[in-house]
Amino acid sequence: MPSSLSSVGLSLVIDEHMRWLTQWHRAAFFGRETGMLGADSVPMPQSFIQWMREAKAQALTPQPAVERLIALHEQLHRLARLMLMRVAADEILSLAAYEAVLDRYEEFIQLCRRFERAMSLAGSGIDPLTGLRNRTGLMEELGRETSRLRRSGRPFCLALCDLDRFKSVNDTYGHDAGDRVLMAASACIGGGIRDMDEAFRLGGEEILILLKDAELAQALGVLERLRADLAAQVVQLADGRSLQVTASFGLAEAHPDLEPEQLIERADQALYAAKHGGRNRVEAWKLSHAAALG
């Protein structure tokens, strides 16, 4: 996330909207007593407008989360103004209309705080959505393990994990459901690997697992346990529905003559075989995998 869209800016957005909500309540329920009547009696905070301009200038608005934040802000203030117009017209307010304003406000503030966390973590090497490590430092970590293998013979393996049919989750249930599934799967993997292992989110639904001090048989055991745990996990969605997803794993064992990029390529070939072998399975690299792609 670009540094100019700082967490300080969103902290100001949150603070201003908290003060705005207090004034809006006064206008909505005590408008005549306080003289705060009409749709414009409580001005909209301007800090988010400035944040949005910066987001557009840096081409962030096509991102789904940013688009959602902008849409929530627009909905919140449109519904809030509508209630104030009804107060000024002496109309009876409904509980549903009031709760709609509060629902948009709470979701807007929560999403602002998520962006705050993402910005504070940017550059730290931690993926803000999943809590796993991101690509930062990945190749250095693989380089260290490769050097250790060549120097002392200490084994290690590398696995690629890809959630099965993840695109259909987003298409059917929406991106919020996709985020929930990805967070739940990442938590399962992060909590299920051994203490010495590392998990990296490569992007989308693909996760790289570095299994240290592990030969192929031991790594297969770890991954098979992760695969079963993921398949058994139930993910609760915001609307009360639940989902279960599976994952496929491609595993490759390191060798002294392999460079890190080649090891990743082998794991990717094994993952391809796992996907085409029926999904929800662990596949270790074989020479035939490379031949099949060649």
Does the residue 266 lie in any domain? yes
Q: What is the pLDDT of residues 187-234, one digit of tens each?
A: 999 999 998 999 999 988 999 999 999 999 999 999 999 999 999 999
What is the average per-residue pLDDT within 98-104?
A: 93
Residue type, 139: M
The HSE-up count of residue 81 (CA atoms within 13 Å, CB side) is 10
pLDDT confidence bin for 63, thresholds 50/70/90: low
In this structure, the answer to whether residues 179 and 61 fall within a common structural domain is no
pLDDT tens by residue, 234-286: 999 888 899 999 999 999 999 999 999 999 999 999 999 999 999 999 999 98
Strands 242-243 vs 235-236: parallel, antiparallel or unpaired? antiparallel
Quick one: 283 exposed, middle or buried, by C-beta within 10 A (0-12, 13-18, 19+)?
buried
Confidence label for 96 from pLDDT (cuts 50, 70 and 90): very high
Nearest to 161 by CA among 105, 123, 204: 204
Q: What is the sign of the dihedral through the CA atoms of 213, 227, 276 and 160?
A: negative
pLDDT score for 114: 79
Q: Are strands 282-284 and 206-212 parallel, antiparallel or unpaired?
A: unpaired
Same structural domain, 164 and 112: no
Number of H helices, E strands in the chain: 10, 7
Active site residue 205: yes
DSSP conformational letter for 126:
B
Cα separation values, 76 from 10, 115, 219, 233, Å: 17, 18, 50, 35
In the predicted model, what is the mean pLDDT of residues 46-67?
A: 75
Q: What is the pLDDT of residue 120?
A: 63
Q: Check whether residue 157 and residue 106 sit in a common domain.
A: no
3-class secondary-structure state, position 249: strand
Q: Are strands 156-163 and 235-236 parallel, antiparallel or unpaired?
A: unpaired
Same domain, 231 and 107: no
Residue ranges making up the domain that contains 270: 138-293
Asked whether the predicted pLDDT for residue 294 surpasses 70, the reply is no
Same domain for 109 and 46, yes or no, is: yes
pLDDT at 291: 64
pTM metric for this prediction: 0.62
Residue 199 is part of a domain; what is its CATH number?
3.30.70.270
Residues 156 and 264 both lie in one domain: yes
In the numeric block, which tokens belong to residue 124?
Answer: 């730290």
- More confident position, 163 or 5: 163
In a domain, 88, yes or no: yes
Q: Quick check: 2 pLDDT over 60? A: no
**Distance in angstroms (rounded) separating the CA atoms of residues 164 and 86:** 49
Q: Confidence band (pLDDT; 50, 70, 90) for 8? A: very low
Distance CA 158, CA 224 (A): 14
Total structural domains in the chain?
2
Q: Which of 133-142, 150-159, 230-239 has the lowest mean pLDDT?
A: 133-142
**163 plus 117 within the same structural domain:** no
Kindly state the average pLDDT of the residues 139-161: 95
Same domain, 177 and 84: no
Least confident among 18-27, 118-127, 196-205 = 118-127
Q: What average pLDDT score do residues 145-156 get?
A: 95
* Residue spans of beta strands (DSSP E) within the chain: 156-163, 198-203, 206-212, 235-236, 242-243, 247-253, 282-284
d(C-alpha 263, C-alpha 272), whole Å:
14
Q: Is residue 89 part of a domain?
A: yes
Residues in the chain: 294
Catalytic residue among 198, 205, 253, 283: 205
Give the N- to C-terminal CA distance of the chain in Å, as an integer: 38
Identify the band that residue 7 occupies on the pLDDT scale cut at 50, 70 and 90: very low
- Establish if 264 belongs to a structural domain: yes
What local confidence, expressed as pLDDT, does residue 10 receive? 83
Neighbours of 145 (CB within 10 A): 23
What is the DSSP annotation of 164-213?
A: TTHHHHHHHH-HHHHHHHHHHHHHHHHHHS-TT-EEEEEETTEEEEEEET
Residues 74 and 155 in one domain: no
